[in-house]
Amino acid sequence: MKIFRLWSILLLLLLAAVANAQQNHGKCWVNGSFYDNREKIGSGVLLVGKFTIAPSKEIVVKSFHAYENLIVTVNAQYDFVLKNLEPRPDGIRLAIAASNHAATNIFDSVDSSLATTALRNRWNLTVMKAISVDNRLYTFTVGCVDASKPVKRLN
């Protein structure tokens, strides 16, 4: 009987650890569009790329080739706090920049846009960056949502 209790407790602890490890993963996407002021035409919103993020202290760096010579760089990083002497993800921050070259850490760049949010159930975060090149206004958006919970759909 004692062995059964011990195995039950170990199984519950293992399930709790697995559930905690799956929390706060994010699904992210980058959209882009442009408007040509001279020709008075624009594109629709196009999907530039997708990626996922998981709780880590490392900065996630993703670069995507967008229109012509533009490269969109995205940084994502989780913020951690100590809870019961254990680091736990508490927030997330996103940055986006667009230029003619790929960058690495754009969190401190004056040419990037940045946003942060606290991690809660069904968290989401969106950041937009606009850049003008040769009479064209390019607009890029990066968005991330909580991937650990299924999204309720309205039918």
Question: At 120, which amino acid appears?
Answer: R
Question: At 104, which amino acid appears?
Answer: T
Where b means 16+ CB within 10 Å and e means fewer, 44-75 reads eeeebbebebebeeeebbbbbebbeebbbbbb
Using CA atoms of 48, 51, 55, 59 in order, give the dihedral in degrees to the nearest 10. Answer: -50
Return per-residue pLDDT of the chain as tens, 155 residues: 566 565 565 555 454 444 444 456 899 999 999 999 899 999 989 999 999 999 999 999 999 998 888 999 999 999 998 888 888 898 999 999 999 888 888 998 899 999 999 988 889 999 999 999 888 999 999 999 998 866 666 65
Whole-angstrom Cα distance, residue 59 to residue 115?
Answer: 15
Residue 115 · residue 87 · CB < 8 Å? no
Q: How many Å is the maximal CA-CA distance in the chain? A: 81
